[in-house]
Amino acid sequence: MKLKKSITLIALLFFNMALFAQENYSLTGTVLSGTDNSPIPGANVIIKGTSTGTISDFDGNYQITVKKGDVIVLSYLGFKTQEIVVSDQKKISTKLQEDSSELDEVVIVGYGSQKKSHLTGAISKVKNETLDQIAVSRVDDALVGQVSGVNIQATDGGAGAAPTIRVRGVGSISGGIDPLIVVDGLVVDNDYLSALDMNDVESFEILKDAASTAIYGSRGSKGVIMISTKTGKEGKTKFTYSAYTGLKEARQSDAYYSTVAGTVAAEQAATGTLSARTRYKQLIGVDTNWQDIAFDGGTITSHSLSARGGSKRTKFSTSLNYLHDEGVMLTDDFKKYNLKAKIDTEVNDKFSFGANLSPSYTETRRFDGSTHDILRQPSWLPVYHDDNTIQFVDRTVYPDVKVGDYALQRHFDNYDLDGNGTLIDISNTSNTNPAAKVLERDRRDKKFKMYGSVYAKYDFTKDLSFKTTLGGDVQYTDRRRWQGVLSNRNGASAAQLDLTNEKQIHLANENFLSYDKSFGKHDVNAILGTSVETWNYNYETTQGTGYSSDLLQTMRAATSISDYNSYEYERNLLSYFGRVNYAFDSKYLFSLSVRRDGVSVFGKNQKYGNFPAASVGWNIAKEDFLKNSDLISNLKFRVSYGITGNPLIDTGDDLIDNYPSLALLNPSTAIVDGDVTTAFNPINIANADLQWERSVEINPGVDFGFFNNRISGSVDYYKRNSDQLLLYNPVSSTTGFSNALVNLGEVQNEGLEFELRTKNLSTSFFRWTSSFIGSFNKNTLVNFADSNGQIQNVDTKRAAEWINSEGQPISSFYGWVVDKEIPVEYLNDPYHPIGAEAQDVYVKDLNGDGVIDDDDKANLGDPYPDFVWSLTNDFKLGQVDFSFMFQGSHGAKVRNMGDQYIFNHFNSAQDFNPATTPNQGFIKEKIFTNSIVQDASYVALRNVNIGYNFSKDMASKLGLSKARVYATGQNLLYLTASDYTGFNPESIDDTSATTYGYQRAGSPIFRTISVGLNVEF
């Protein structure tokens, strides 16, 4: 019986082996280049739908086991993928054709699009492939390190706060310096980026040179960021849901972290004993880390749901987004609700129309305080009194203080430590508790924004069409700031409510003809159009005081309306524009554009300006002597020249900014015959000749690709001179003013930028790509008229100086150079307050005359980086992907006034003893030296992303067509220079272009760790 079973089993085994041998067989073949029939080594050959595969050898040969009906997929970098169905072939040799899709990629330019291979300007494109997986509250935050020539700084660490974006440096002093933002063809303000959901973004195009931006004329000198949002596609409606949640944590400063224990150890080691003050602080038993209090961290969460689809004639895209960012600072909070709907319809072969609507609502509660004010508090001070600290309260002065109340430094004065009647004071301020300054204030902004546009397009022929668009936005902003009774040391008398209402309406109408025709070796693309835009802005603010408690926080409860202000302004823009792009045989490229703008801002003599541009290119790789090159797959030389403008003025006064050419009056009062009557005071000097700032730029560049574009990139050199600058120039005091707004001065930005992208490895199972992006920029003040050499300060109480000198950057730090610190033995009390430092320092006698005076001052550096870079690596192994980006900035400096506050420079205990200190003539305050001018360089691990993509089979079992889970991190590593003491070298206070680089400790950079999910069904 056993023998029969064994024989049967063996027979079945041989039968199956024979059957297998009949079904599976070895297929061989050769993979060749369709261009020159040369073999392609390393080509991927896999059986579709399986993990079975191989690669071709050095001669392009391969061998793989297949069966009839299999589909083999052949692919290689730089070539189009090919699929072949297996019938009974024993050998399949294949020619792969070069893939020119990368060069034929369409790039969005002003009022149209163009093939990447035909571009003659400096335009960078960033596709949203994984940007929506970066846990940020604004889309522009995700662009850090993505584009050369664009420097994005986290100057404000608040939740939902806008970063500072500069394209190719700063070219204005009193004018606006933010790039123009265009979304789906509609010009929007920078605040729109706080309402846009990254899941709706298809791509970014950044126009950097004048030839590219001149089509936007007077608004193009600062660069243009064009954003294209996703559209529906023909076919079944696809739903996508994307979500992530993460934790945010502030980067703290080791230099600003001081403890009672550390002071005790230092004093004990230096003197062998402890002072009464130090012993008292030790007795209190509190060692507060005020950075933990101020930077309490938070979470960030986003949910986005979209539906996209359509028919052959009509396509639609809709989405809904919710985001909540708790920020990293005390009370900081940002919420966003966004809806977007987009539809495009072809009525017939000639006529089409569409609409785009995007309402949003945001609510922000701000950190209503200053980091330096909190962090200068001593660590022995608690936030609230408990059963322990209440015993130290001076009851003669504060009889009503109880457990749970905010602790004030003055509460701890007049304490008899040794019981001998000697009273000790340890406070160094009468201010309220620093936490109360923030927690007892409530500062909120509520914004409703509606952006929208409609268009109609008529095709006269397949080459000629006309398009008209009507778009705009409406914004309502309510700002509320309550300063409670406990937020100030003066109590109820300082309680205050501020209410502000702002309304902005922006309308735009554009009409243009487009001509696009290819015939023979000629490609012609042209546009001709006109544009009209208008802005209307209303502002109203009211301030109420005289509150007795926090119970009624309304304007009606105020006993006094202490301030009221309102105004409105209107701005109009009328434009005519045209452009012609021409390519011959895709080798020789030419582009010419011009725009004429008229704006209501400027004087009657200078309302219109002309902004021409021209560029040429040579696709040398398409020449006969290179087109069959194994080395060079793409090589294009190009050069551009153009003139752009800047109509925006930023003096700090909205009325002057919008009516600078007119003589403006402010209401006032006067005494006439002993009676008070209404009067008006002039606030500026009229200038009918006031006109645009102008930028003239030349940009030679080269685009390259080697080894079938396995190595590709671009290099650009630019030189941009901005003249006719809008700035205040000194005038005779007989005018009643000290200065007047005029067109004078010139600034130059010169730089080199490069983008290098490599496809390092690519097989059927593994892919590795890299990119290295870098930008050098030099800023020079060429002409500053009568203001050359002017010295300025930000705060007259702490009058550290900036100098604006021709031949140097716009803004440079100015002061004495440190020689050495004052030894602690010469200080009055070097161990009080906790963490304090001497406010003075020995400085160098630079001219050697034995006297320290202004002749010994020097240029101490500037706040502009010399080199900004990023390095990105992307890996894919099967269904797992991993990427990371390092990003850095070098050469910039920052004047960190936070040191004076947090190190308590101004405390008399830190003064030097005039009776014992030598060489006092060589001593100056640190704030007037390079002691607080610190290196703002950094290297950051900006982004890390690891994800898993579900297979189609696994996703379908879950009822999904696609699914991905991932984890990301931002700023997980952030390295700063050794002499930088703050939290964030990118953080810069909003002062002016001539005093740029000022920081009072600043807001922190933060790290985020998040997990997310993307599904499609």
| Mean pLDDT along residues 463-478 | 96
| Start-to-end CA span in the chain (Å) | 57
- Indicate if the pLDDT at residue 576 is higher than 60: yes
Q: What percent of the chain has pLDDT over 70?
A: 97
Q: What is the pLDDT of residue 106?
A: 81
Kindly tell me if the per-residue pLDDT of 174 is higher than 90.
Answer: no
Q: What is the DSSP string of 96-109?
A: EPB--TTTS-EEEE
With bands split at pLDDT 50, 70 and 90, how would you rate the model's confidence at 103?
Answer: low
Residue 15 has pLDDT above 60, yes or no: no
Tokens for 203, please give them. 């791509």
With 0-12 / 13-18 / 19 or more C-beta atoms within 10 angstroms meaning exposed / middle / buried, residue 398 is: middle
pLDDT tens-digit profile of 236-248? 999 999 999 999 9
Residue 79 has pLDDT above 90, yes or no: no
pLDDT value at position 798? Answer: 86
Take residue 473 and report the two structure tokens written for it. 């936005």
CB atoms within 10 A of CB 313: 12
Give the whole-number percent of the chain exceeding pLDDT 90: 69
Mean predicted confidence (pLDDT) in 549-559:
93
The residues near 828 (Cβ < 8 Å, ≥ 6 apart) are 908, 909, 910, 911, 912, 913
- Per-domain boundaries in the chain: 23-96, 106-234, 254-294+381-425
Average pLDDT over residues 108-121: 88
**What band does 78 get if pLDDT is binned at 50, 70 and 90?**
low
DSSP state string for 513-568? EEEEEEETTEEEEEEEEEEEEEEEEEEEEEEEE--S-SS--SSTT-SEEEEEEEEE
Mean per-residue pLDDT over the chain, rounded: 91
What pLDDT sits at residue 396?
Answer: 92
Lowest mean pLDDT among 127-141, 267-281, 588-602, 726-740: 726-740
Q: Is the model more confident about 344 or about 23? A: 344
| Nearest Cα residue to 629 out of 703, 700, 702, 704 | 704
Whether the predicted pLDDT of 608 surpasses 50: yes
Strand partners, 343: 316, 355
Q: Is the distance from CB of 979 to CB of 931 less than 8 angstroms?
A: no
**pLDDT confidence bin for 21, thresholds 50/70/90:** very low
Range of lowest pLDDT (89-98, 309-318, 741-750, 988-997): 89-98
pLDDT in the model for residue 864: 96
Q: Which of 165-179, 456-470, 731-745, 833-847 has the lowest mean pLDDT?
A: 731-745
pLDDT at 10: 45
Per-residue pLDDT, averaged over 582-610, amounts to: 93
Give the CATH number of domain 23-96. 2.60.40.1120
Query: How far is it, in rounded angstroms, from Cα 278 to Cα 259?
Result: 11
CA distance 514 to 459: 9
> What are 73's two structure tokens?
């997929």
In this prediction, residues 303-330 reach a mean pLDDT of 94
What DSSP string describes 164-233? Answer: EEEESS---SSB--SPEEEETTEEE-GGGGGT--GGGEEEEEEE-SHHHHGGGGGG-TT-EEEEEE----
Q: For 164, list phi and psi in degrees, rounded to 5.
A: -95, 125
Average pLDDT, integer, range 549-556 = 93
Give the pLDDT confidence score for residue 630 in this predicted structure: 83
Q: Is the bond preceding residue 833 a cis peptide, omega within 30 degrees?
A: yes
Question: pLDDT at position 998, please?
Answer: 95
Architecture of domain 106-234: Beta Complex (2.170)
Higher pLDDT residue, 951 or 442?
442
In this prediction, residues 926-931 reach a mean pLDDT of 95
429-438, 473-482, 643-652, 853-862: segment of lowest average pLDDT: 643-652
User: What is the reported pLDDT for 17?
Assistant: 43
DSSP annotation of 1005: P
Tell me the C-alpha to C-alpha distance, in Å, between residue 695 and each of 222, 246, 613: 9, 43, 11
Q: In angstroms, rounded to a whole number, what is the distance separating the alpha carbons of residues 397 and 938?
A: 49
- Closest to 343 measured CA to CA, from 358, 363, 326, 332: 358
Q: State yes or no: pLDDT of 101 exceeds 70.
A: no
Quickly state the pLDDT bin for 806 (edges 50, 70, 90): very high
Q: Is the pLDDT of residue 461 over 90?
A: yes
Would you place residue 100 in the very low, low, confident or very high pLDDT band (cuts 50, 70, 90)? low
**pLDDT of the residue at 9:** 46
Residue-level pLDDT at 20? 41
Instruction: Round to whole Å and give the CA distance between 711 and 635.
Output: 12
